[in-house]
Every structure is written in structure tokens, then in C-alpha cells.
Structure 1
Amino acid sequence: MLAYQIATKGGEAGLAEIAVPEPGTGQIQVRIMACGLNFADLLTQKGTYQDIPDAPFTLGMELSGIIMKTGDSVDNLSVGDRVAVFSGQGGLAEFGVFDAARATPIPETMSFEDAAALQIAYGTSHMALAHRARLRPGETLLVTGAAGGVGLTAVEIGKLMGATVIAHARGADKLDVARAAGADHLIDDAEDLRDRVLALGGADVVYDAVGGAAFKAAFRACNPEGRLLPIGFASGEVPNIAANHLLVKNLSVLGFYIGGYMKFRPDLVRDSFRQLIDWHSAGKLHPHISHTLHLSQVADGIELLRTRKSTGKVVVRPTAT
């Protein structure tokens, strides 16, 4: 089978032909139908992500597909089941073997592409806003990078949770995407972010996927007791936070990494994904997929993320059918 692998530590990623893996105890073998790309795949490929597996390994953190085989002690899933898998690795391949505990059945009404796009981006936004920031109805949520893979989901989920959403993105096309996802107010990257947010009454919660200057401006536009979520650093700059400035408005900066929850509170991740599936089934979530690519085009997809030319999600379909 084909897989998009990093074969050696520090080596280049590329397509490789490897044996189809067999499931062990507590594992399932999945024919992979779709895999969502994430900015973390780019960082992993560069060797700068916080959680890099030992080489050789196959990239691809979230996937969907059909169970082909089950190992011993798997009693809650069966051959033929359609599943989404929060894999952490292994999704950019034609087949993969994963722990059954990381798989969730998906309904027939959900496409494989939507299932692959739903887990990390929507899961990050839902858990960050609901579990960490405790976003409340009537509050104002500022989302930077609001047309990107995670930012767009924060706009959508923030509206579902009853917030007034301010979307910040680069250019009219991206702002139109954020508006379609439910944003109440739009701010172009060329505008003064702090002044515009303050003119709208300030932000109670900041969901920042950009870092750098955007985070600094959002920090200064927070209301008293505001909560800031540094979700990602698409600008390439990790901001420094002056702790004494937190005191003036009693602000909170809340770290969040969904992969960490998979290790110490996987139940929260599973509960969140079930909620997302329910919302999707009810027609309340509409994953925006700007590009659907083949396994041979993974490098092109990662370049789309690097240059921030995609909106919403980039999804790879490893198989032709």
C-alpha cells in the first residue's frame, strides 16, 4: 500500500510503498477513505511540533474509513463499520491500524470527508470554548484567523453557543467565508484590530490561531475578566505574555492542546465528538472543505496550509473510490 511517511528522524516526508499492517489486540484495521490535513502536519514534517512520533511513521492525525479487520478484545466495533479515528498519526495511507479506543462510529448520513474534517478542528474549538474558556451565551468571542482550519470552526461553534462572534481574517474572500459560517462582525487584517474590537464593545473570549501581532492586539482589546486561548501560531511568531498586564483587567490565558486530552482525559474528547456528530446530524454544523486532494498531492496540501491559501479544511482521499 502507499503511505506518506517520514522514514528517518529528521528526514524528508514522501510517498512510500509499505506492507499493509495487521491489527493486534485491541486494534482495528481501517481502509482509509479520507484524512484531514492540519497545521500540525506541517510542523511535524518540519520537526517543530510538540509531539513527534519515532520514525518511521506515517503522517495524518485524523481520518475516516471502513473497518476491514478487528484484533482480539475488540467487542464494540465490527468489520464493515464506518468510523472516524483520532489517530495522531497514520492517516495519510490507504490502510491503517489503530487502537479501537480512538475510533468512533459515524452515521451513514455523514460523508467520510466531513468525518475526517470534524475531529481536530471542530474538537479543538468545542473543547477550548466550552471546557476551557466556559464561553457563555451573550458574550463576545473574537476569532483570529477566522477562515482557517480551526478558526472557521470556532466561528461556527461560537454562534451555536450563543456568542456574538467577531471574525478577523485576511482579505474579503476569507471574510466572506467567515460571514457564511455565522460571524456577526468582520475585521480585515489590514485594519487596526484593537481599535475595531474595542469599538464593538471589547472581547470576552479570544480564540487566537495566528499569534504574533494579532494576539497582542487582541490581548489589549479584552474586557475585564477576559479569557484568551492561544490555539496556534500561523504567523510564525509565538507571542510573549507580560504577566503583569494580566493583572490590570484580571485576564486569563488558557492553554489548550487536544492531543494532551487524548492522553489524560480521552473521555472528554469522545464526549465532545459525540456532541459534534449530533450537531452535524441535526444540520447545525457544515464543515467547509476548500480542497480535496489525492494521496499523491499531500505536499501540495501542506503547502496550502503553509501559505494560508486554503479556507476551512484540506482533505486527502487516499483511495480512488
Structure 2
Amino acid sequence: MRVLIVGGTGVIGSSLQKTLAANGHEVVITSRKSSTTNDSALLVNLENISDSVQTICNAGNFDAVVLSAGVSSIRACRVNPESTSLVNVDAQVAIARELLSVNQPRVILISSNRVFDGVTERTKTESAYSPTTEYGRQKSQAETDLLSLGSSVKIVRFSKVISEHTALIVDWFNKLLSNEKISAFVDMAISPITVDAAVDVIEHVLVAECEPVVQFSAADEISFYDLATVVANYAKSPLSNVIRQLAQDAGDNAILHSSLESSVFPSIKPMPSLHSVHKIMEKLTNS
């Protein structure tokens, strides 16, 4: 299978590229920067949609396309809604529409639990959109527009995806190693999964029959504070260095729930949140 990963240098995209290549697929990635270590990467800046579409089309036909690029910062989307929507919505749809007009590849959009408001836990796949952020609104719009293009489009919604390279976790770990204090929200729920689990789900959707929309999250929920205490334990830092913080004190909104009703996969089962955290902390401390 010849697969294009738009956003192949991000956390999910780079891990997916390695896995698919190891499993015998031909993988082409895009990168916004020319400094990528992959010499064959397509240089694509999604802010310039017409050039991006042309560059991708010039690369030939693909059996599948994974749309994993975009602006995921909640703050950036709030401050610059027009420019971020161009990348998160318009560019994704333009690429998919053009490729589908040529040879009908399977198109997979990596989406987020932020399309929901977090009022209920284990939100069902078919629940109505209820975003509370501009980022969530953009993701819900991208989902809607892409699904209208036909049955070749699949949406994969994840909760928070973490790895040993997650900037927040690495920053916390380094500060705690230096006996510095950190602050963590007690009223913002997360349902973290490892990037390895996310890649397994994407690969399944690439090669197997599935519903138009699939979801995957941890089996339960924790707070950012809970996450921070685990990081502190691995840094051998006293828990007094982890300061409890309310979301409103940082200008954010509390999030009651973040888990999704995970789709059923033959060999991929949701793990408890803390299990995922321990797995990536073991990698971080052993790297």
C-alpha cells in the first residue's frame, strides 16, 4: 500500500511512518520545514493551499492518505481563528477532495475529543458536536466537510495522545529534576493514550473495514495534577513541588470529562490512563 501522511514529522505522523514502513508499506510524508531528516519528504505549507495540493498531486497516486497536520494549540486557534481554520479545515478538505477526484484513496482525518464539551464521560461516536473552543469547532467542521465527500473518508477521534516527547511532560520532568515547582490543573480531565496505541488504531483503520467515525481513549480519566504527580515520582521529586491549580486561574475552563466511548478493535484495548503515563515515563527516563 502506498500511503501519504500529511504532517509526517509530528508525534503521531512520525511514529506512524516508522510503523507502516516497517510493515512493508511505501510511505510518503509531508513536512512544513525543509530541515526534516527525511530527504524524500514533500515540502508543504498548508497555509498555501493551492501550492500544497499541487505538490501532493505531483507525487502520484496513493492508496491511502492520513491527514495528521494542523494547528492543535487551543490558544493559537482562539487568537488566530481565520488563519488556523485555513490550515485545520480548508487545507484538509482541499487535499482530500483533489485526491478523491483522481483515484479514491482511503482518507483518514485525525480528530479530537475537543469536538465535544466534556460534560459527559465516554462520549458516544454519534453524539452531537458541542465544541467549547475554536479548535474544537474547527475539528468538527473539518469532520463534517470531509464526511460529505463520501464513504472513502474515515474520522479517527483520539483523546490526549502522549509520548516521551510530549513537550509538557518533558518540561515538567526537567523542572522537577532540578527541584523546581510546577503547577497542574486539578479540574481539567484527560484520558491519555500512548502514541503507540494511536498508531495501532490508525493502521487498523487503514487496512480494515470500519465505521465512518471511530474513537479511542483511555479506559478512564485523570486530572493534569494526577499526571504531574506521576512525573514527580519518576523525577524523585517531592510532591510538594507539584502545585494544585484551577483552570480559571490560568484563564481556561474546567473540563469535567475527556473520555470517549472507544470503538471495538480486534486486538486493541483501551488501557487505564495511569498505565499509559507509566509507559511513556519509563521510555523518557530510559532514553
TM-score normalised by structure 2 residue count: 0.37
TM-score normalised by structure 1 residue count: 0.34
Bigger helix fraction:
2
